[in-house]
Amino acid sequence: MSKNQGSRRFKNLVSLVNDRSYHYKDAVELLKQTSSANFIETAEVHIALGLDPKYADQQLRSTVILPKGTGKSVVVAVITKGSKLEEAKKAGADIVGADEILDQVMQGNINFDKLIATPDMMPSIAKLGRVLGPRGLMPSPKAGTVTTDLTNAIHDFKVGKLEYRVDKTGIVHIPFGKSDFNSEDLSENLLTIHESIERSRPPGAKGKYWKTCYVCSTMGPSIEIDINTFK
């Protein structure tokens, strides 16, 4: 596709979106209508919150299990030892090991989407913070990726558990399915994200918590949601 063709395609899609906020269910319908790339696009939600994450009591980091899944196959790696190695394999982890995985990561060989570790391995993993941190892969208890309950942790991430956090500008970016999901499933996932962010409201949040909320497909235009319609 040429640049001009791409521009025409996008302008046509933008013309379908009115300059107003939509009920979240209508926004999902419109997202599907404006998803016209030649691949199955990801449905994304971008939420601006009244948070300044430079303050410790205004940081937001949590997880949510999307009831209808993410539509993405998640490669889970587990770093553990002893009897936990077999538990991780039986639970469906794609990559299981200890020092050999640490060595691969150190060499920049990261071929997984989620890294889970047992607490006894964290001292060894700490030295990989510079490599794993910028990719959002550093295991943490808060994210459910440092645990002794490997079976449930692996299952949750395989079926659609997502970790999210507010970025330095106070915005949360979360994928909530694929453009070929039906509207009801996308709406249910979106509502679940809203409920999770509400439950995880930091103690230092002041004033208006939800400022704006937009959804879009990977290559589609932004569609504003009327936040009140979530209630």
Pick the residue with more confidence: 74 or 2?
74
Output the pLDDT for position 12. Answer: 82
Q: Does residue 4 have a pLDDT over 50?
A: no
Hey, where are the domains in the chain? Answer: 19-70+161-230, 76-159
Residue 6 pLDDT class (50, 70, 90 cuts): low
- How much is the pTM? 0.81
Output the pLDDT for position 142. Answer: 83
CATH class of residue range 19-70+161-230: alpha beta
CATH class of residue range 76-159: alpha beta
User: What HEC string does 160-219 produce?
Assistant: CEEEEECCCCCEEEEEEEECCCCHHHHHHHHHHHHHHHHHCCCCCCCCCCEEEEEEEECC
Per-residue pLDDT of 34-72, as tens digits, reads: 998 899 999 999 999 999 999 999 999 999 999 999 998
Residue 139 pLDDT class (50, 70, 90 cuts): very high
Percentage of the chain exceeding pLDDT 70: 97
Write out the E strands in 21-160: 42-49, 61-65, 76-79, 95-97, 114-117
